[in-house]
Amino acid sequence: MVVIVGAGFGGLRAARALRRAPVQVVLLDRNNYHLFQPLLYQVATAGLEPDQIAKPVRAILRGQKNFDFRMVEVTRVDFNDRRLQTSAGPIAYDFLVLAHGGETNFFGLDGVRTHGLPLKDVPDAVEIRNHVLTCFEHAMLEPDAERRRARLTFVVVGGGPTGVEMAGALSELIRLVLVKDYPRLNIKDVRILLLEATDKLLAAMPERLREAAGRTLWRKWIEVRFSASVADFDGERVRLKSGEIIPAHTVIWAAGVKAAPLNATLGLTVGRQGRIPVEPTLQVPGHPEVYLIGDASYAEDNGAPLPMVAPVAIQMAEVAAQNIVRALRGQPLQAFRYRDQGTLATIGRNAAVADVFGLQLSGFPAWVMWLVVHIIQLIGFRNKLFVLLNWAWDYFFYERAVRLITRE
Ligand SMILES: Cc1cc2nc3c(=O)[nH]c(=O)nc-3n(C[C@H](O)[C@H](O)[C@H](O)COP(=O)(O)OP(=O)(O)OC[C@H]3O[C@@H](n4cnc5c(N)ncnc54)[C@H](O)[C@@H]3O)c2cc1C
């Protein structure tokens, strides 16, 4: 029996890749759904419903005969007994694929952990949507001009793809849509800041595209600040390491990820970002029947760490599944080699940067490529259709469908 922990990009692909293998596959996850994390920021900015970017695991794999699913939290792995401890008791395995992903890295900033808004799962995205819309409602009730401006100041931290996409989508939500809902709002009271600790946005991109992204953000009235590290946030004020104070009620934290906490319980050597170094074959050192893939694993390509992105997890899943089949047949295992497919980031309507298939594109062509790639990758015809319909509606009518405050 092959047990897979995590129904994210890696775990789901591993389960599918084993569909013809002579094994029983059991997939475990604490959630009953697979989530397409790259579009989470669109849920956070009222563009999409959560169920358009997520799908129940049982529905995705119900046609696979050797497959079963259990909704459990895995708390420990007993490598010697080949057994997992879970919220529903122990589960034994012959082969194990660990694909439990990552979590938000607050870099030890307790204030940000308490008052900031991470973006990693569905509840995070819904909370950001509720919070942003609530800030507007409260601002409308606030007679004091300074306090009103603080409610309408939105700080996005992290100049990687998630921060850039989030800032761009937030600006469009406010300047194209909310401005119509709040006709008495003075748009000059609204500020969006994108803070980046280094001197670069989208560090993995070529310089030309980084500069194009920076120009587009400025055109969308986003104040981009470089060498700006957050030291603390108390819910009303952001303090930078430079000592500067920014009055703001919103900090959206897109500054980092680290491996999920299960890694720390495994008793294995843990490296940078809590990731565990794996053998070239993706096996866990000392445990040849255990494979570790995706964000929770650490592997290198030409001496550089592989990024925590979906293509790495998917490609690792395929190699891990093949190696399990090879091990069953007594064949030598293959080493993992990453095929880099490039990077894409969108900054709102008609604006994106793409470094893919040897092409460097910006503006409208990159945006079209971004749309096509994301629609293809979304799971399920229904989700593809509804996301496309939503995007078309927003594009032509300057609307966002999901402007509900569902709880406070
Ligand atoms: C907001 C955001 C935007 C992103 N945008 C992009 C992008 O544009 N392009 C890109 O390539 N990558 C992007 N990424 C990164 C990408 O989503 C990850 O690299 C990818 O999901 C990693 O896949 P994985 O299988 O390792 O983990 P995940 O996909 O995170 O899956 C891990 C699964 O394990 C489950 N799990 C964890 N611990 C346990 C436990 N103890 N017990 C039971 N279940 C558990 C979780 O519930 C989850 O379902 C983005 C990530 C975020 C958060």
13-60: pLDDT as tens digits: 999 999 999 999 999 999 999 999 999 999 999 999 999 999 999 999
Mean pLDDT of 240-257: 97
Average pLDDT value over all residues in the chain: 95
Task: Tell me how far the alpha carbon of residue 308 lies from the centroid of ligand 1, in angstroms.
Answer: 9
CA distances from 159 to 223, 229, 256 (A): 12, 11, 10
Task: Tell me how far the alpha carbon of residue 151 lies from the centroid of ligand 1, in angstroms.
Answer: 31
Contact 54 CB / ligand 1 (< 6 Å): no
Mean pLDDT of 112-137: 97
Query: What is the torsional sign of CA 286, 99, 20, 2?
Result: positive
From CA 386, how far away is CA 49, in angstroms rounded?
A: 9
From CA 368, how far away is CA 147, in angstroms rounded?
A: 40
Contact 150 CB / ligand 1 (< 6 Å): no
Beta-ladder partners of 278: none
Contact 6 CB / ligand 1 (< 6 Å): yes
Stronger pLDDT, 400 or 30, i.e. the higher one:
30
Please tell me the predicted confidence (pLDDT) of residue 82.
97
Q: Are 336 and 10 in contact (CB under 8 A)?
A: no
Task: Tell me how far the alpha carbon of residue 378 lies from the centroid of ligand 1, in angstroms.
Answer: 14
> If you take atom 23 of ligand 1, which residue's CA is the nearest one?
9
> If you take atom 38 of ligand 1, which residue's CA is the nearest one?
100
Q: Are 46 and 402 in contact (CB under 8 A)?
A: yes
* φ, ψ dihedrals at 93, nearest 5°: -140, 155
pLDDT of residue 402 exceeding 70, the answer is yes
Q: Are 276 and 298 in contact (CB under 8 A)?
A: yes
The mean-pLDDT minimum among 76-80, 141-145, 304-308, 375-379 falls in 375-379
Please tell me the predicted confidence (pLDDT) of residue 231.
98
Please tell me the predicted confidence (pLDDT) of residue 116.
98
pLDDT of residue 407 exceeding 80, the answer is no
Task: Tell me how far the alpha carbon of residue 35 lies from the centroid of ligand 1, in angstroms.
Answer: 8
Which ligand 1 atom minimizes the distance to the CA of 41? 1
The mean-pLDDT minimum among 66-75, 309-318, 360-369 falls in 360-369
Q: Is 172 a catalytic residue?
A: no
CA distances from 221 to 59, 75, 214, 401 (A): 42, 45, 11, 23
Which ligand 1 atom minimizes the distance to the CA of 73? 42
Contact 74 CB / ligand 1 (< 6 Å): yes
From CA 119, how far away is CA 155, in angstroms rounded?
A: 14
Q: Which helix (H) or strand (E) holds 214?
A: helix 207-219
Which ligand 1 atom minimizes the distance to the CA of 39? 3
Please tell me the predicted confidence (pLDDT) of residue 69.
98
Please tell me the predicted confidence (pLDDT) of residue 401.
78
Q: Are 151 and 138 in contact (CB under 8 A)?
A: yes
The mean-pLDDT minimum among 114-123, 295-304, 366-375, 398-407 falls in 398-407
The secondary structure of residue 159, as a DSSP letter, is -
pLDDT of residue 384 exceeding 60, the answer is yes
Q: Euclidean distance between the first and final Cα of the chain, in Å?
A: 45
> If you take atom 17 of ligand 1, which residue's CA is the nearest one?
37
Closest to 25 in 3D by CA, of 321, 363, 352, 248: 321
Confidence of residue 189 (pLDDT cuts 50, 70, 90): very high
Mean pLDDT of 1-23: 97
- Residue 35: helix, strand or coil by DSSP? strand
The mean-pLDDT minimum among 274-288, 314-328, 365-379 falls in 365-379
Confidence of residue 408 (pLDDT cuts 50, 70, 90): low
Confidence of residue 77 (pLDDT cuts 50, 70, 90): very high
Which ligand 1 atom minimizes the distance to the CA of 12? 25
> If you take atom 19 of ligand 1, which residue's CA is the nearest one?
309
